Amino acid sequence: LAIFEVRDLWAYYNEKPAIRKVSLKIPEKKITAIMGPSGCGKTTFIRCLNRLHELTPGASIKGEILLRDKNILEMDPVLVRRKIGMVFQRPNPFPTMTIYDNVIAGYKLLGVRLKREEADRIVEEALRKAALWDEVKDSLHKRGTYLSGGQQQRLCIARALAVKPEVLLMDEPTSALDPKSTAKIEELIVELKRSVTIVIVTHNIAQAGRVADYTAFFYLGELVEFGPTSEIFTVP
């Protein structure tokens, strides 16, 4: 069952196409890896899925992206980003905020004022889902940037999960991390797919093999392969 159905998607920077006529169904509650050489459009593609692409000066987009049959290109972009969370290559907790405030930052950005107990509950739940609670529960009022790189990335995952998105987009989430932190985050990603659909950009074939149920290969802005990861990586 697909959560996203992308139809004839084109994405441009100053009229120059970076995504060319891509059609793809992204399966729900599965992990889909987006792979391909540098510059093939991986980041542009996932930034279309939460309408970040259109915020780039000179960028435009054409086609349809159906999220459960509703075209997100016709929805309020703020609402889209509420449903489609994102984690970036470099951990980017808000530098002046505490761990606690980072986790509920999504609500602040949406202008939602939470009651204290409700915020406490959301913070604990999101940090537990991100496998970070035990490490930070006694330092919630320290700055997020005081954590290690791997912890900061898990904090960013908690921040994304806190608003209960339907999809979590991850743009090379481990490429700035050491092998131990990477292994921890891979384990977490696999655990998360019970509750959320994940689309992960990765350069790393071994990582796609370890975490992804499906793999899409892009080349020069086109989708050239898509299927179960085991079939994509099997030489006939």
What is the contact surface with ligand ADP in residues (CB under 6 A)? 13, 18, 36, 38-44, 56, 100-101, 104, 107-108, 113-114, 116, 119
Shortest approach of ligand ADP to residue 114 CB, angstroms? 3
Q: Which is nearer to ligand ADP, 17 or 77 (CB)?
A: 17
The 8-class DSSP code of residue 115 comes to P
3-state percent helix, strand, coil for the chain, nearest multiple of 5: 40, 30, 30
Q: Which is nearer to ligand ADP, 10 or 13 (CB)?
A: 13
Q: The dihedral of CA 108, 164, 53, 38: what is its sign?
A: positive
Q: Which is nearer to ligand ADP, 3 or 11 (CB)?
A: 11
3-class state of residue 200 by DSSP? strand
Q: Which is nearer to ligand ADP, 40 or 157 (CB)?
A: 40
Q: What is the C-alpha to C-alpha distance for residues 145 and 208, in angstroms, rounded to an integer? A: 29
Q: Which is nearer to ligand ADP, 113 or 194 (CB)?
A: 113
Shortest approach of ligand ADP to residue 44 CB, angstroms? 3
Shortest approach of ligand ADP to residue 156 CB, angstroms? 18
Stated length of the chain = 236
Q: Which is nearer to ligand ADP, 56 or 148 (CB)?
A: 56
- Whether 221 and 20 have beta carbons less than 8 Å apart is answered as yes
User: Residue 165: which residues within 8 A CB-CB, separation 6 or more?
Assistant: 82, 83, 84, 85, 196
Report which of 233, 231, 226, 229 is spatially closest to residue 26, judged by C-alpha positions: 226
Shortest approach of ligand ADP to residue 56 CB, angstroms? 5
Q: What is the C-alpha to C-alpha distance for residues 56 and 106, in angstroms, rounded to an integer? A: 21
Shortest approach of ligand ADP to residue 25 CB, angstroms? 21
Angle 100-31-173 from CA coordinates, rounded to 5°? 50
Shortest approach of ligand ADP to residue 68 CB, angstroms? 25
Residue matched to tokens 């999960």: 161
